[in-house]
Structure 1
């Protein structure tokens, strides 16, 4: 692991942590990789205001520091992905708690939650006491991307990948999902307007509905 050129020079763990993730955009890059790997352009699209040069530098820093790694998929895909290392994934509890804490601050006048922020907010607000009643494996399809959603062992797991044999599936667009999660539209109403489709056995559909709209 390389040493940061800009450092607080303080041996405190908080200061040393900020030496690693304290640069602007660094923690938001980590946020957008928590659910799974992303390509450069997908990362850039979720970081409104970050330039390609800034994102390139931030990824370079995070790779050198051991928080992110680069993975190249071979032919025929030839795609370069960025993903968190095991050490990088250890930031998840901190980010979820920071999200809960930050939600009490004034909201900016413009802007909407991206898909990563939206699903992480769902995870941050999950009540472990409801895990038994909502237990199951589900799949969300949002604007062509697929997410595994699993409730088990008093926790909510969300990953950017397909679920194996989900008991219920829901497909929609990002704007509709935002409205569903923040309560602006009920799932049955979204279904009636053909903005959302949900399939599965009745108990699983009910559990998935209750998870998204407690």
Structure 2
């Protein structure tokens, strides 16, 4: 746990006592994408010192938000994962991602991690009302990396990679961010990003992940 406290009877203050230290929310962001090795976290958090990452993980374990797990053979390695309590941070991270989206500089091809584009930019835009009771499976092939996103019954869930996707988005992670920011549409972004799938699936995608012109266009 952090050594300092705001010492206020307030939910926000109590939360910041646990997750308010520098890098802590970004560690939780990385773990919200799935289980990670220590080296994976270092890669996803360029600039953090190894000893500081160790401290942050220890604090989060002490707070009951993160746990270590041992993967079975042949992997046989230690990974970090969010606990059930830690997963409650999901809506907070999504709200922060939407809040910060207009503050980002214009994305540059090769400068955006595909994982960030899919899980840190697109996924937080899911409209829970429009998605209620609906399903959609999307495979992304961005900058040579394959990622999946699945909406089942209106909620984001771990994707079934053995199933046939409703849509396949191929191209640049930066282009996907531009689409999410509302600064360009698919017609403008082609061929930097292309979509394969039925018109019905494309319509569902637009309804479930609406672009709200987060960044004014020129």
Q: Same fold (TM over 0.5)?
A: yes
2:125·2:210 contact (CA, 8 Å) conserved in 1? no
2:2·2:17 contact (CA, 8 Å) conserved in 1? yes
1:36·1:159 contact (CA, 8 Å) conserved in 2? no
2:71·2:78 contact (CA, 8 Å) conserved in 1? yes
Give 1:164 shift.
Answer: 3.0
Aligned to 1:130: 130
Question: What is the correspondence of 1:57-68 to structure 2 with a 5 Å cutoff?
Answer: 57-68=55-66
Structure 2 distance, partners of 1:202, 1:110, is 28
Aligned to 1:207: 204
Distance change >3 Å, CA 8–CA 212, structure 1 → 2: closer
Taking structure 2 as the reference length, what is the TM-score of the superposition?
0.72
- Aligned to 2:85, what secondary structure does the other structure show? helix
Structure 1, unpaired ranges of 5+: none
2:112·2:173 contact (CA, 8 Å) conserved in 1? no
Structure 2, unpaired ranges of 5+: 212-218
RMSD: 3.5
Out of 55, 65, 70, the residue aligned to residue 53 of structure 2 is 55
- Aligned to 2:131, what secondary structure does the other structure show? helix
Distance change >3 Å, CA 115–CA 54, structure 1 → 2: farther
Aligned to 1:166: 165
Give 1:201 shift.
Answer: 3.5
1:144-186 Cα deviation digits (max 9, x unpaired): 2422231633x5x265773633222223342333333335554
